[in-house]
């Protein structure tokens, strides 16, 4: 017989599930139910004539593989995980989790310069011959592999002169596209569905096949999805700078192909892709630091997506420029929920929105009102990043309120986190004031019943950064955290914190934190995850207080 505590736990789990499912869309729910009952469609096979390639080259060169993909024909590394290539590959491996398997089947490593045409042919034929079903036929790896194989086919010399290999690849690509159309990830939405549609239209433009006109007809749906997922300010709805960059590259790839196929591209597609890419480039300007790399909010890590400068160069070669022409010191993405102040030696990027989108917040963290800060071009206050997507300690830690430069109130999370990508209750987050001279105010009320309101003011000018916090409502304890980049050396001097770094240029930089006196401050050592599979210890400034009134932290650049 179950006791009262067991019953309460069961009720709590049901309540969490209800809060998780309530925001999802009707069509998404139906697709999820169908997936639970039927599963993914079986790989499709066409016994007719092989399709043909419409064009032999692209408008301009594609970007190289992402930096996390390394190796040679005998041994590759994906997501910081080595994988030896035997004579026959175990394509069904689950040893390193589903994300690794997805990247293994995406096959971006085949585009590395260390692979010659013979090595590429060996792996391509092995996959086609031996992996006729399994995880490589999930919709997401199909989508990204279709793009990868297309890039290989359109890159002069990448596959040598093996006509039989090209025919075999084209036949397999047509089968993959047919399978993908039947398994669009409506149940997941967000970047998965957008990547699916990009790959379907890509296949319809690239291949002359029996179903190609049907694949091209998905361009209309793709444009609608672009309008829905890429917000008016140019940010992607999932609020992840990394996924924003990944999708931008795929959109530019489709534009690259569309420009050379002429009238085969559906009316309006080139214009829609160009306009979308332009807005996304502008948004990326808000989400990057002066070192040129992205902020690490919302499941972002380095080396997974192309760097912003590479994306800008690629777009420029395709005739696309950022829609915001002037470089201003204050930039805001009001729908995406990021702001950036670049004043004097300071460059601050703040998160001023909650988990998004409501129907699929799988990449959201508890980072409302958190910020990252660079001083004189060097990152100082940083986000935690991500290590993996497998459920467990590292995944939980990366998403938790305590891993971001914000306040934790009474030990409660801003959002109701569970599993590796699930969120039940969500916080109420808003940008309440904005001044493009260098100040903004945001508010966050956590998801739990009776949660107080956190009001945070950001001020940035030539002399200092100010972070002013006020709590409205009932609470017992506040913990304020400032995670710092591991390259900085920190110590307390006269009650304040001094951070010092000697950078690659040989110059010493010193920053002083003038700390709120109502707090008890200590320096703790905690892990950060700058990219998948990487863990780096760093100093974290932690302040604890009872019920302070308004508290202020000032950050000054001394030299």
CA atoms within 13 A on the CB side of 447: 19
Q: How far, in Å, CA of 148 to CA of 111, rounded?
A: 8
The reply to whether omega before 357 is within 30° of 0 (cis) is yes
Q: What is the model's pLDDT at position 9?
A: 80
Q: Where are the strands (E) in 344-425, listed by range?
A: 346-351, 371-375, 378-381, 407-409, 417-418, 422-423
Q: What is the pLDDT of residue 2?
A: 58
* pLDDT value of position 324: 64
Has residue 36 been placed in a domain?
Answer: no
In a domain, 344, yes or no: yes
Domain-ending residue, one of 252, 282, 317: 317
pLDDT the model gives residue 548 = 72
Are 396 and 282 found together in one domain? no
Domain that holds residue 436: 330-557
With 0-12 CB in 10 A as exposed, 13-18 as middle and 19+ as buried, what is 445?
Answer: buried
* 536-545 vs 520-528, strand pairing mode: antiparallel
- Would 67 be classed as within a structural domain? yes
Provide the pLDDT for residue 4. 67
What ranges make up the beta strands (E) of 188-242? Answer: 207-208
Mean pLDDT over residues 5-11, rounded? 80
Compare 195 and 496 and report the one with higher pLDDT: 195
Select from 281, 282, 379 the least CA-distant residue to 328. 282
For residues 370 and 13, what is the distance between their CA atoms, to the nearest angstrom?
29
- Asked if residue 335 belongs to a domain, the reply is yes
Residue 25 falls inside a structural domain: no
CA distances for 264 relative to 61, 170, 204, 267, 512, angstroms: 21, 18, 9, 9, 60
Do 112 and 238 have their domain in common?
yes
Could you count the other beta carbons within 10 Å of the beta carbon of residue 302? 18
CB-based contact 153:133 (threshold 8 Å): no
Both tokens assigned to 466: 């100010």
Tell me whether residue 9 is in a domain: no
Note whether 347 and 308 are same-domain residues: no
Q: Which residue's structure tokens are 């004097």?
A: 344
pLDDT at 26: 94
Is 428 contained in some domain? yes
Q: Which range among 22-36, 471-485, 536-550 shows the weakest confidence by mean pLDDT?
A: 536-550
- pLDDT computed for residue 314 by the predictor: 98
Do 299 and 347 lie in one domain? The reply is no
Same domain, 359 and 288: no
Tell me the average pLDDT across 63-86. 93
Do 80 and 223 lie in one domain? The reply is: yes
262 Cβ neighbours under 8 A, 6+ residues apart: none
User: Span 204-224, mean pLDDT?
Assistant: 96
Nearest Cα residue to 60 out of 321, 265, 318: 318
Percent of the chain with pLDDT over 90: 86
* CATH number of 127's domain: 1.50.10.100
Query: Among 62, 63, 80, which residue's Cα sits nearest to residue 71?
Result: 80
The residue from 295, 317, 339 where one domain ends is 317
The answer to whether residues 341 and 332 touch, using CB atoms and an 8 Å cutoff, is: no
- Mark whether 242 and 167 lie in a shared domain: yes
What does pLDDT average to over the chain?
A: 93
pLDDT, one tens digit per residue, over 295-337 is: 999 999 999 999 999 999 999 999 998 876 556 777 999 999 9
What is the CATH number for 340?
2.70.98.70
Do 73 and 113 touch, CB atoms closer than 8 A? no
Map 399-416 to HEC letters: HCHHHCCCEEECCECCCC
Residue 325 or residue 12, greater confidence: 12
Q: Are residues 73 and 186 in the same domain?
A: yes
Report the alpha-carbon distance of residue 149 to residue 137 in Å, rounded.
15
| Lowest-confidence pick of 129-138, 321-330, 392-401 | 321-330
Please return the burial class of 207, using the count of CB atoms within 10 Å of its CB with bins 0-12, 13-18 and 19+: buried
Residues in the chain: 559
Query: Per-residue pLDDT tens for 54-65?
Result: 999 999 999 999
Region 549-553: what's the mean pLDDT? 80
Cα separation, 190 vs 199, in Å, equals 15
What does 143-178 look like in DSSP terms, one character per residue? HHHHHHHHHHHTSTTTTTT-HHHHHHHHHHHHHHHH
CA distance 288 to 241: 8
310 with 398, same domain? no
| Residues 427-438 pLDDT 10s | 999 999 999 889
Distance of CA 515 to the CA centre of its chain: 33
pLDDT number for residue 3: 65
Q: Do residues 378 and 292 lie in contact, with contact meaning Cβ atoms separated by under 8 Å?
A: no
Whether residue 280 is found in the same domain as residue 392: no
Rounded to 5 degrees, φ, ψ at 330 are -130, 120
E strand spans, 51-106: 52-53, 70-72, 75-78, 81-84
- Interatomic CA distance for residues 381 and 343, integer angstroms: 16
- Residue 523, pLDDT score: 95
Tell me how many domains the chain contains. Answer: 2
Answer yes or no: do 236 and 376 share one domain. Answer: no
With a cut of 90, say whether residue 559 has pLDDT above it: no
Task: Decide which of 317, 338, 365 is a domain's last residue.
Answer: 317
Q: Which residues contact 199 (CB under 8 A, 6 or more apart)?
A: 142, 143, 144, 146, 147, 177, 180
Sheet containing strand 496-502, edge to edge, reads 428-435, 439-445, 453-460, 464-472, 551-557, 508-514, 496-502, 489-493
Residue 288 bridge partners (DSSP): 294
Q: Answer yes or no: do 313 and 334 share one domain.
A: no
Spatial CA neighbour of 349 closest among 365, 331, 324: 331
pLDDT at 535 over 80: yes
Residue closest to 356 by CA, chosen among 228, 227, 240, 223? 240
Q: What is the mean pLDDT of the segment spanning 356-380?
A: 96
* pLDDT of 6: 79
Rg (CA), the chain: 25
Give the CA-trace dihedral at 499, 307, 389, 8, to 10 degrees. Answer: 70
Query: Is 90 exceeded by the pLDDT of residue 48?
Result: no
Query: Would residue 38 count as lying in a domain?
Result: no
Q: How confident is the model at residue 549 (pLDDT cuts 50, 70, 90)?
A: low
């Amino acid at each position: 017989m179950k006791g009262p505590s067991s019953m309460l736990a069961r009720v709590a789990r049901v309540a969490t599930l209800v809060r998780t499912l309530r925001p999802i869309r009707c069509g998404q729910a139906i697709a999820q139910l169908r997936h639970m009952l039927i599963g993914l469609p079986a790989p499709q096979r066409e016994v007719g004539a092989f399709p043909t390639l419409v064009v032999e080259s692209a408008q301009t060169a594609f970007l190289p593989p992402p930096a996390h993909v390394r190796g040679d024909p005998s041994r590759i590394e994906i997501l910081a995980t080595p994988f030896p290539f035997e004579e026959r590959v175990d394509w069904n491996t689950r040893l390193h989790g589903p994300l690794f398997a997805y990247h293994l089947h995406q096959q971006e490593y085949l585009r590395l310069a260390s692979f010659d045409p013979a090595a590429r042919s060996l792996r391509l034929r092995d996959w086609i011959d031996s992996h006729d079903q399994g995880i490589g036929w999930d919709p997401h790896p199909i989508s990204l592999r279709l793009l990868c194989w297309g890039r290989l086919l359109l890159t002069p010399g990448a596959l040598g002169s093996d006509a039989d290999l090209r025919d075999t690849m084209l036949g397999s690509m047509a089968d993959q596209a047919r399978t993908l159309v039947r398994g669009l990830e409506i149940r997941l939405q967000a970047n998965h569905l957008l990547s699916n549609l990009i790959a379907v239209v890509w296949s319809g433009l690239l291949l002359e096949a029996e179903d190609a006109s049907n694949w091209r007809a998905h361009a209309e749906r793709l444009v609608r999805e672009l309008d829905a997922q890429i917000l008016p300010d140019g940010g992607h709805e999932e609020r992840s700078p990394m996924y924003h960059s990944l999708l931008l590259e795929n959109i530019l790839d489709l534009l690259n192909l569309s420009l050379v196929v002429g009238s085969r591209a559906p009316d309006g597609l080139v214009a829609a892709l160009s306009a979308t890419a332009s807005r996304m480039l502008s948004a990326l300007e808000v989400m990057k630091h002066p070192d040129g790399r992205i902020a690490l909010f919302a499941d972002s890590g380095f080396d997974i997506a192309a760097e912003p400068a590479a994306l800008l160069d690629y777009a420029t070669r395709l005739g696309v420029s950022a829609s915001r022409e002037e470089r201003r010191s204050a930039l805001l993405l009001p729908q995406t929920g990021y702001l950036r102040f670049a004043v004097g030696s300071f460059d601050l990027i703040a998160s001023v929105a909650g988990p998004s989108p409501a129907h699929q917040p799988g990449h959201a963290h508890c980072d409302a009102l958190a910020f990252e800060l660079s001083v004189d071009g060097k990152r100082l206050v940083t986000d935690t990043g991500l290590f993996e997507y497998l459920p467990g300690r590292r995944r939980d830690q990366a998403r938790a309120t305590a891993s971001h430069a914000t306040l934790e109130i009474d030990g409660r999370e801003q959002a109701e986190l569970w599993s590796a990508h699930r969120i039940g209750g969500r916080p109420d987050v808003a940008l309440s004031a904005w001044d493009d001279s260098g100040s903004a105010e945001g508010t966050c009320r956590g998801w739990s019943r009776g949660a107080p309101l956190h009001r945070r003011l950001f001020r940035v000018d030539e002399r200092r950064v100010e972070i002013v916090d006020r709590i409205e409502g009932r609470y017992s304890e506040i913990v304020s955290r400032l995670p710092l980049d591991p390259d900085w050396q920190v110590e307390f001097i006269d009650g304040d914190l001094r951070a010092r770094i000697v950078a690659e240029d040989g110059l010493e930089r010193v920053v002083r934190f003038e700390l709120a006196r109502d707090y008890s401050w200590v320096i703790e050592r905690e892990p950060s995850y700058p990219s998948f599979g990487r863990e780096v210890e760093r100093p974290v400034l932690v302040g604890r207080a009872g019920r302070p009134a308004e508290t202020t932290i000032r950050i000054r650049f001394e030299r």
